[in-house]
Amino acid sequence: MIEAQKAFSKLAQDDDSLQQQLNLEAATLAKSASAIIAPHLSALSSSAKLFGLSSNNPEADTLKVFESEFAKVIQKTLHYRLQLLATGCEYAFTWPSPDDVLDSGSMQIDGGRAEDTGGQSIVLFTVFSGLEIKSMSSNEMEAIPDARAVVKVQRREDRF
Amino acid sequence: MPTQEARQDGKELTLGILFILDNSPDPPEDMEWREYSEWAIAEHLKRHSYYHHLKGKRTLATVAKMRSRMLDMCPWNRKPTMPKPNRRGEFKDNVDVLFGCGGTDLLQKRFLENQGYDRSTFSESQLSKHVSEAENPGDAKTDGRPEDETSEENSGNDTVASNTNSLVVGEEQNRENEGGAAASPSIQPALPSPSSQVGTPAQPPDNSHSATRPNRIGNHETRDQNGTTLDEQLPPSRDEGRRLRSSVGPQTQTPSTDNGTSSVNEKTNSASSETLLGPQNESVLGAKRKPAQNHGPHKRQRQVNNTTHQDEPSGQKPGVHATTQTESSSKTPSMANGTNGQESPQTPIPSRDTHHKSQLAGLNLDQQGRNMKSLYSAIQQATDAILKSIGQIRNTPSPLHSEPSGALEDLYARCWGPQWEEVRVRQVGDHVFTTPQVTASLLSAFLYEKVLTRGVRLEEVISNLMEMGGSLGEALLKEFDVSSRGESDSTLLHIVTAD
């Protein structure tokens, strides 16, 4: 069965039709994301001009860059999901909500230091999702230390 | 014709179909699971226009064949038989597919119910155990556990002792049913070995089984319940009246620490300690396969291993949303990188290998951690490139659009909660949200919503692969090479007519 899994992974990597499908899906999703986030990018562009930092790129070019770059991310993510499927693990992606109390077991601070976690900190927002996999020993979903959700936190007493 | 290797690969790809089924919406409560499987398949075919657009190869016969093949993959539509290894000790049965390469949780559960196993305590090793016991019947009494463990448990628990006896009877009956085929001399299952489970068939139903699954993950999406909380979906009367037999052993009262597990457990906080019942506790109350004489809806024995479970908020991760995706398997070699497997099927895994399984899990977890880091790194690189295109606006407060579209508003809400607009106003003064963070968060939120959790894209990819042909699609179709059945065709015609 392990060999079969290897074969699956190899076939999935080598198969042109799968690659085409993944690329197609990634491009479609990236285009969709571009349409959704375009107003936000436009606001960023305006902000950049306000700060005198604009690159003077046409907005269309920015969207092209966005689609191109984000499509790569999506491709990678789709590949990863297929590979996760092949492992046979039961897994769950996590997304801490704003105002959650910081749980260092499943969350890591975005660029933070250890002292930042002193006191009770809360999640301001999540920068990247985490991953949990069912533990074989306890049969419980366990957060993976190296795959904790990346969050921006703030001390509770410092809240505005 | 595809090669044998391609056919084998195709078998693995049937998991795609199982995945689709697992991601189907919740069934109506009055619908039996067998009906549900057919309904889910019909819904899938309908979604992909198999019924409405009979163009090209999509003739009615093709649709019927597709449906028949998919139905045939459903474990509950199969005659329950124990998997038998081939000469090399490899299991060729679909059981192997289900448990070795990503069979979905839902389907595993249904399969186990048909087989008479207890889903909550089942380990893949039971399959190999069942076979190996034919060679060493005496082992059945200890069920693979060390003697001291067994004797200690039996001495303190008459229930366990009686269960052990019933285990022996059950094994004998199983062997009879299988015509002694299990006594293959060349069995070297590449599966984790027995994890010491003893059934409790004589115990009365116990409602406390509902406490065995702490709802630690805040599943907030409909499809979450398909994979992880199936028991909770089933009406208790059906759940218990038809299948369940539970018992509670004194060992379960005291949570034990699992010293042999991977680093995952090391970092688990104390609040969740009540969920960390060690494998020893599980093993004491583990389920036992019932005699495989009845192919109907089998009764199954079920353990209750956590009667002291408390619904403490502290025992849950605070507000962490998660979506369970796929399936458990007791062998999870690290295939996520697609480059290596840590084992070969010919390598027998030692007995009583809870610790070994933990090691496998550890390897796998490390790889998953690296992969997730890689994904995060990709997000950061994309963010840098996008911001560079806009202008070097790093470390400046990021504005949120004042009047976002619906989809963008959803992303804002995902990132900053329903009160995202307050955040938009406040953050200007606080300067807490820099542009790279906000952009990365939005990209990640989109990934989480559309790629990581929904599974829609994978479903489409697999479906398209089947239609497109190609080596993968061909292998998949060939694997489903089951002649159409009249019953399926008539049902299909009925569905088509109804549509």
Chain B residues in contact with A98 by the CB 8 A cut-off are 415-417
Closest-CA distance, B490 to chain A, in angstroms, reads: 34
Does A3 reach chain B within 8 Å, measured CB to CB?
yes
Tell me how far apart the alpha carbons of residues B388 and B163 are, in angstroms, rounded to a whole number.
Answer: 67
Q: Which of B257, B252, B261, B310 is nearest to B282 (CA)?
A: B252
For B320, the 3-state DSSP assignment is: strand
| ipTM above 0.85 for this complex | yes
Interstrand relation of A107-109 and A149-155 (parallel, antiparallel or unpaired): parallel
Residue of A nearest to B449 (CA): A95
- Report which of residues B247 and A82 the model is more confident about: A82
Burial (Cβ within 10 Å: 0-12, 13-18, ≥19) of residue B313: exposed
Where do runs of H (alpha helix) occur along B76-215?
Answer: 94-100, 105-115, 125-135, 139-142, 147-156, 158-177
For B468, the 3-state DSSP assignment is: helix
Residue of A nearest to B409 (CA): A36
Does A146 reach chain B within 8 Å, measured CB to CB?
yes
Closest-CA distance, A17 to chain B, in angstroms, reads: 6
Contact criterion met (CB < 8 Å) for B437 and A5? no
For residue A158, the model assigns a pLDDT of 53
Indicate which of A3, A137, A140, A141 best probes the interface with B, i.e. most B CBs within 10 Å of its own CB: A137
Q: What residues does B244 pair with on adjacent strands?
A: B300
What ranges do the domains of chain B cover? 74-319, 370-452
Burial (Cβ within 10 Å: 0-12, 13-18, ≥19) of residue B450: middle
Contact criterion met (CB < 8 Å) for A130 and B317? no
Residue pair B246/B120 in contact (Cβ under 8 Å)? The answer is no
- Report which of residues A155 and B214 the model is more confident about: A155
Of A8, A72, A86, the CB nearest to B378: A72
Tell me how far apart the alpha carbons of residues B97 and A88 are, in angstroms, rounded to a whole number.
Answer: 9
Contact criterion met (CB < 8 Å) for B472 and A136? no
The stretch A33-53 carries a mean pLDDT of 80
Intra-chain end-to-end CA distance of chain A, in Å: 55
Single-letter amino acid, residue B417: G
Closest-CA distance, A111 to chain B, in angstroms, reads: 10
Tell me how far apart the alpha carbons of residues B51 and B495 are, in angstroms, rounded to a whole number.
Answer: 9
Chain B residues in contact with A129 by the CB 8 A cut-off are 444, 447-448, 452
Residue of A nearest to B410 (CA): A36
Contact criterion met (CB < 8 Å) for A135 and B264? yes
Contact criterion met (CB < 8 Å) for A95 and B388? no
Tell me how far apart the alpha carbons of residues B130 and B189 are, in angstroms, rounded to a whole number.
Answer: 11
Rounded to the nearest angstrom, the gap between the alpha carbon of residue A147 and the centroid of all alpha carbons in its chain is 11
Structure-derived torsion over alpha carbons of residues A43, A46, A50, A52, reported in degrees to the nearest 10: 120
DSSP A127: E
Single-letter amino acid, residue B366: D
Tell me how far apart the alpha carbons of residues B409 and B269 are, in angstroms, rounded to a whole number.
Answer: 34
Q: Which of A78, A75, A83 is nearest to B12 (CA)?
A: A83
Q: Is the pLDDT of residue A123 over 60?
A: yes
Closest-CA distance, A160 to chain B, in angstroms, reads: 8
Where do runs of H (alpha helix) occur along B263-405?
Answer: 263-266, 279-284, 354-390
Indicate which of B23, B229, B372 best probes the interface with A, i.e. most A CBs within 10 Å of its own CB: B372
Closest-CA distance, B164 to chain A, in angstroms, reads: 22
Residue whose structure tokens are 């694997």? B479
Closest-CA distance, B30 to chain A, in angstroms, reads: 28
Q: What residues does A131 pair with on adjacent strands?
A: A93
Residue of A nearest to B102 (CA): A88
Residue of B nearest to A37 (CA): B408
Q: Which of B259, B252, B255 is nearest to B274 (CA)?
A: B255
Tell me how far apart the alpha carbons of residues B239 and B319 are, in angstroms, rounded to a whole number.
Answer: 29
Closest-CA distance, A57 to chain B, in angstroms, reads: 7
Closest-CA distance, B399 to chain A, in angstroms, reads: 7
Q: Of chain A residues 35-94, which have a CB less than 8 A from chain B?
A: 36-37, 39-49, 51, 53-55, 57, 61-62, 65-66, 69-70, 72-74, 76-94
Tell me how far apart the alpha carbons of residues A36 and B297 are, in angstroms, rounded to a whole number.
Answer: 49
Q: Is the pLDDT of residue A70 over 90?
A: yes
Contact criterion met (CB < 8 Å) for B416 and A110? no
Residue of A nearest to B120 (CA): A139
**Rounded average pLDDT per 10-residue block, chain B, 499 residues:** 52 52 56 65 61 50 67 57 54 47 51 62 53 39 37 36 34 40 33 33 36 32 33 35 32 35 35 31 32 35 34 40 44 33 36 40 67 89 87 64 76 80 59 77 89 62 55 45 32 29
| DSSP run (H or E) holding B71 | helix B60-73
